[in-house]
Amino acid sequence: MKTATTGALSNGRYWIAHNSGVLTAVVLFVAMFTLYISNHSAGLTPAVATTAANKAVLLALVAMAQTLPVLTRGLDLSVGMVFVMANCIASVIVVGTVGEGMLGIVAVLLIGALAGFINGAIVVWGRLQPIITTLATGAVYYGISLFVRPGPGGDVQSDIADLLTGQLFNTVPAALVVLLVVVLVVWIPYRRSVLGRAAYAVGSNEQAAYMSGVPVQKAKLLAYTLAGVLASVAGLMLTFNTYSGEASAPIAGTYTLNSIAAVVIGGTSLFGGWGSAIGSIFGAFVLRTIEDLLFVFDLPPLWQPLFQGVVLLLAVSLGAFRILRVRNRLELFS
């Protein structure tokens, strides 16, 4: 296991080295967001911040979901589909009074957990590769989304939706509070739990973790299940933003792929065992701010996809700096 929480703060240099990936993403985001705000005609008003937050929190939650399987050296290509499925189901059952809406939210979260658990069960007990498993279950979840909502539409409980996508005390974007609550209620306890640390161990070296008595299977099951829960939280937030549901394969695909990019930009290793969901949040913020920057700088619309692609490629290429650090060429073949 490459991480140690105790005594990390007492050794500042160690802490910085350990979190360099997250810090890079944070610095990148702050720099880009400052550039964005300073060029925005309205400046940093609560309305501008809320719009930015509502968009960014969706990808941040999906990226957090992606982080958990990646830490165990897995991958979840179905996060986007679970996200869309939660969106479609929420647009059907999160309706009525506030109480009924809350029940609906709980149901959607349970469905997300079940979807993630199925992924985990096939990976753990079926012993199939995560990539191909989640590719196939993603198709199933997309089919269910289409079944629930053949065409775009639906509705959502508007009181809850307005509360969660508006502003708290007219200043703080509520979506950011939701994200903070998710971090405090899901990520921090998970990171400190036995199974959370086991996930890092499994990602570092599954064989060694198994020999050391680490609960490998439980750790993987929990990682995929929580990924399903987080993806469905994102799906709920999407529903609250759009007041409708849509079974869209392009949206699902974009979120899946961007979530992987956000995870990498946030300093998490795709080879497992290294990184954190906090980094992924800022990775997602960076990706979102790129789009906003293109908007304020008035780039010709035709150039935007190319610019976005080049920035994405450069951002993920930052990982290439590790080849300067290796002492032995054989370390490269991981």
Partner 1 sequence: MTGVDTGAVRGPTLAMRLGIDRSVAIAFGCILLILAGGAMYSREFLSPDYLLQQLQVGAFLGIIASGAMMVILLGHIDLSIPWVVTLGAMMATAMVGWGGSWGPWICIPFGVFCGAVIGILNGLGVAYLRLPSMIFTLGMNAVVQGLMVLHTGGFAPLDQATPAMHFIAVQRSLFGIPNAVFVWAIVGIFVIYVLKRTAFGRTVYAVGNRESAAYLSGVNTNRVLIGCFAFSGAMAAFAGVLLAGYSNKAYQNMGDAYLLPAIAAVVLGGTNILGGRGNYLGTIAGVILITLLQSILSVMQMPEAGRQVIYGCVIIGMLLIYGRGAKARS
Residues making contact with partner 1 (CB under 8 A) = 75, 122, 126-129, 131-133, 135-140, 142-147, 150, 206-207, 210-211, 216, 250, 253, 257, 260-261, 264, 270-271, 301-310, 312-313, 315-317, 319-320, 322-323, 329-330, 332-333
Residue number, 96 or 309, with CB nearest to partner 1: 309
CB-based contact 243:261 (threshold 8 Å): no
Shortest spacing between CB 7 and partner 1, in angstroms:
31
Shortest spacing between CB 211 and partner 1, in angstroms:
7
CB count in 10 Å sphere of residue 45: 12
Helices and strands, number each (H, E), in the chain: 15, 2
CB-based contact 75:130 (threshold 8 Å): yes
Shortest spacing between CB 140 and partner 1, in angstroms:
4
Residue number, 262 or 278, with CB nearest to partner 1: 262
Which residue is it, tokens 């939210």? 105
In sequence order, what are the residues at sequence separation of 6 or more whose Cβ sits closer than 8 angstroms to the Cβ of residue 181? none
Shortest spacing between CB 216 and partner 1, in angstroms:
6
Distance set, CA 80 to CA 83, 97, 157 (Å): 5, 29, 23
In sequence order, what are the residues at sequence separation of 6 or more whose Cβ sits closer than 8 angstroms to the Cβ of residue 16? 23
Residue number, 206 or 292, with CB nearest to partner 1: 206
Shortest spacing between CB 124 and partner 1, in angstroms:
10
Residue number, 166 or 215, with CB nearest to partner 1: 215
Shortest spacing between CB 334 and partner 1, in angstroms:
9
Residue number, 145 or 241, with CB nearest to partner 1: 145
Alpha-carbon span 57 to 61, nearest angstrom: 6
Residue number, 14 or 125, with CB nearest to partner 1: 125
Shortest spacing between CB 118 and partner 1, in angstroms:
10
Residue type, 26: V
**Which helix (H) or strand (E) covers residue 167, if one does?**
strand 167-168
Rg of the chain (C-alpha set): 20
The tokens describing 77, both together, are 């290509």
Alpha-carbon span 168 to 161, nearest angstrom: 13
Residue number, 48 or 270, with CB nearest to partner 1: 270
Closest CA to 176 of 272, 281, 63: 281
